[in-house]
Amino acid sequence: MARIEKIELRMVDLVPKVKRTDAIQSFVSQETPIVTITDSDGATGTGYSYTIGTGGSSVMRLLADHLAPRLIGRDADQIEAIWHDLEFATHATTIGAITAIALAAIDTALWDLRARKQKLPLWKLAGGAKDRCPLYTTEGGWLHIETQALVDDALEAKAKGFTGSKVKIGKPHGSEDFSRLSAVRKAVGDGYEIMTDCNQGFSVNEAIRRTERLRDLDLAWIEEPLPADDIDGHVRLSNSTATPIAVGESLYSIRHFREYMQKGGANIIQVDVGRIGGITPWLKVAHAAEAFDMPVCPHFLMELHVSLVCAIQNGKYVEYIPQLDELTGAKMRIEDGHALAPSEPGIGIDWDWDAVKARSIAEFTTAIVK
């Protein structure tokens, strides 16, 4: 039985390649905690998570001071037990983003270690439902982008075989959102999906009003229309429209997802490994969604989510937002607008360790050894 002997902690701060704006914020920095676990056989596994610019130092302190030391001497294959032990050890700070982001980096590293030792890619180890999945793009749909540029980006994505494009909404008046989306729909035609994302920017009444106005554009979904903790508001909105409602980016517990599913507050589940606390709870949410006949279209983290969407039967789309290009060698493979499941053992990310080490922030670089 191989025991965990070493945990290496690093954080890299990445600047997005394009300007990213939505209804409530700008995404100007991606703090990326990276955890590498080594066992007594000398095998390693690496996991990561992310912030959108704040909280990274708190995540790293939580990892170094409270979570990583608890891994030393543990059987790395007991992923479920470790996840629950770490969650309980921090129960006074859960449920929330800081703890979930820290747990995600550790849990993903453990799954990477297991997959590498079993010589299997993650998508097969976690289920093996399919070897590819369709992509939709978000990078050309940010809120500040002019209408013609939205149209041009959607046409380019369609020509590449992408399934759809996401356009951020939340302009001061609903007429502006309608005009932008109408132009995209007219350009791409009826056979191409248009996703929208409100980033929790509306009240219930305003969301109902805007959704009604957008009804005839046949949107794939309206994402995060309300604050994520307003389940009853989402139920009211869902009951008022035929347009699917998508949630999950800002949910941090499998029980939050359960409530949305049970109460009918959502139609599409966007569970995010980095926000839910790792692959272990991600799979639980995804399988629960299948029981409710709901598709899973995870938020962000395309380099990791491609394997998980391919692992499950109800995985529908992966969101195309390049995240790790500056830290990796081989990139996610795309063919005719579909992301191909990685064939290499592990979570499928080809870390460029020279780049990772060169960009690591020294004050957060820590090694915890047996």
> Could you report the per-residue pLDDT of 89-143, keeping only the tens digit for each?
998 887 789 999 999 999 999 999 999 999 999 999 999 999 999 999 999 999 9
The confidence score (pLDDT) of residue 37 equals 98
The confidence score (pLDDT) of residue 91 equals 87
**What is the Cα–Cα distance from 121 to 281, expressed in whole angstroms?**
19
The confidence score (pLDDT) of residue 25 equals 73
Average pLDDT for residues 235-264, to the nearest whole number? 97
pTM to 2 decimal places? 0.97
Exposure string (b/e) for 158-191, b if CB count within 10 Å is 16 or more?
beeebbbbbbbbbbeebeebbebbebbbebbeee
Q: Residue 259 above 90 pLDDT? A: yes
Q: Residue 24 above 90 pLDDT? A: no
Average confidence score pLDDT of the chain: 96
The one catalytic residue among 124, 168, 256, 338: 168
The confidence score (pLDDT) of residue 1 equals 81
Q: Residue 243 above 90 pLDDT? A: yes
The confidence score (pLDDT) of residue 92 equals 85
pLDDT in tens, 80-89: 999 999 999 9
The confidence score (pLDDT) of residue 15 equals 85
Is 299 annotated in the active site? yes
Average pLDDT for residues 220-240, to the nearest whole number? 97
pLDDT in tens, 149-172: 999 999 999 999 999 999 999 999
Residue tagged 């670089």 (tokens):
365
Average pLDDT for residues 245-258, to the nearest whole number? 96
Sign of CA dihedral 40, 311, 268, 135: positive
Lowest mean pLDDT among 70-74, 92-96, 305-309: 92-96
The confidence score (pLDDT) of residue 223 equals 97
DSSP 11-60: EEEE--SS--B-SS-B---EEEEEEEEEETTS-EEEEE---SSSSHHHHH
Sequence-ordered strand ranges (E) for the chain: 4-14, 30-39, 44-48, 132-137, 164-168, 193-197, 221-223, 245-247, 268-269, 318-320, 334-335, 338-340, 366-369
The one catalytic residue among 158, 256, 299, 316: 299
Q: Residue 207 above 90 pLDDT? A: yes
The confidence score (pLDDT) of residue 127 equals 98
Average pLDDT for residues 180-196, to the nearest whole number? 97
Sign of CA dihedral 242, 305, 133, 262: negative
More confident: 17 or 145: 145
Q: Residue 246 above 90 pLDDT? A: yes
The confidence score (pLDDT) of residue 348 equals 96
The confidence score (pLDDT) of residue 93 equals 80
Percent of the chain scoring above 90 in pLDDT: 92
The confidence score (pLDDT) of residue 134 equals 98
Residues making up the chain, counted from first to last: 370
Q: What are phi and psi of 259, to 5 degrees?
A: -65, -40
Is 168 annotated in the active site? yes
